[in-house]
């Protein structure tokens, strides 16, 4: 196990590329926040207290569309549910004697990327490692959102519209690599796109609020996938370079 100083420095080092990526992605998130009527300070506070790209985007979109508080609460809970699983898995990396307040603070900073570098640390996880990463990733995400709103108020409307597409590019970048490795994921993504298009463009479903449509699709498709294609191995073994050969052949571990 690393010393406190070494763990903190390693966290700083590994957090640099994540922070740079966060700034770029959060900039486009700020564009979405601006379209929902948020000020730069309000959007920055949302990012500082959430650190959830998909959850925040869903929230900004639902605010823009005038969704109810209940719809937003359910949608964000469903969207961010993965963080509960990540935190549970990460808690097993700590020494049993690690104080609760360390676990609480690290839980605040758990994102997909920070979880990835933390779960890949050999042996037990020193809390100073995620703290070192957090020192860079949190400001990167927060400042990116802030300047996204600021620049959205200055840049021409066409440029703002073009930048807003970048966030969709991030989501595509997330799903394409695992979809290329797993036919199951590729099929689920395809089904999701088709059903989403049907609920959006078929007028028969116009009575369902847009936020409820997303919630229904997320819950139904995720539940069906879990029942039909259960993952029998550790879902994070691919992050650590592990997993059975069968799973790797099927693309399950990598997904």
Dump pLDDT digits (tens) for 107-140: 998 888 888 888 888 888 999 999 999 999 999 9
pLDDT for the residue 202? 86
Confidence of residue 232 (pLDDT cuts 50, 70, 90): low
Average pLDDT on 208-231 reads 78
If one counts every other C-beta atom within 10 angstroms of the C-beta of residue 141, the result is 27
Average pLDDT score, the chain: 81
Say if residue 221's pLDDT is above 90. Answer: no
Backbone angles phi, psi at 69, to 5 degrees: -65, -35
Confidence of residue 250 (pLDDT cuts 50, 70, 90): very low
Rounded Cα distance between 202 and 219, Å, is 20
> Could you tell me if residue 66 is left (phi over 0), alpha (psi between -120 and 50 degrees) or otherwise beta?
left
Looking at the whole model, is its pTM more than 0.75?
Answer: no
pLDDT for the residue 226? 82
Least trusted range by pLDDT, from 51-60, 209-218, 243-252: 243-252
Average pLDDT on 223-235 reads 75
Top pLDDT among 30 and 175 is at 30
Average pLDDT on 140-152 reads 91
Rounded Cα distance between 12 and 138, Å, is 12
Average pLDDT on 78-90 reads 82
């Amino acid at each position: 196990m690393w010393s406190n100083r070494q763990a903190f420095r390693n966290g700083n080092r590994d957090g640099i590329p994540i922070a740079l990526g966060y700034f770029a992605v959060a900039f486009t998130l700020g564009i979405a926040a601006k379209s929902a009527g948020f000020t730069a300070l309000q959007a920055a506070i949302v990012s500082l207290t959430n650190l959830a790209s998909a959850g925040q985007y869903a929230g900004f979109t639902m605010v823009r569309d005038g969704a109810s508080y209940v719809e937003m609460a359910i949608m964000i809970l469903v969207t961010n549910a993965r963080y509960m699983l990540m935190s549970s898995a990460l808690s097993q990396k700590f020494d049993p004697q690690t104080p609760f307040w360390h676990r609480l603070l690290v839980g605040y900073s758990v994102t997909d990327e920070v979880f990835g570098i933390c779960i890949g640390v050999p042996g037990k996880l020193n809390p100073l490692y995620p703290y070192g990463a957090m020192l860079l990733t949190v400001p990167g995400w927060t400042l990116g959102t802030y300047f996204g709103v600021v620049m959205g108020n200055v840049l021409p409307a066409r440029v703002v519209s073009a930048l807003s597409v970048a966030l969709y590019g991030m989501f595509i970048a997330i799903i394409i690599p695992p979809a290329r490795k797993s036919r199951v994921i590729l099929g689920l993504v395809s089904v999701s796109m088709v059903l989403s298009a049907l609920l959006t463009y078929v007028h028969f479903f116009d009575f369902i609020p847009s936020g409820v449509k997303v919630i229904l699709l997320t819950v139904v498709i995720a539940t069906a996938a879990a029942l039909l294609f259960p993952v029998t191995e550790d879902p994070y073994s691919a992050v650590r370079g592990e997993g059975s050969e069968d799973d790797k052949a099927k693309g399950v571990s990598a997904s």
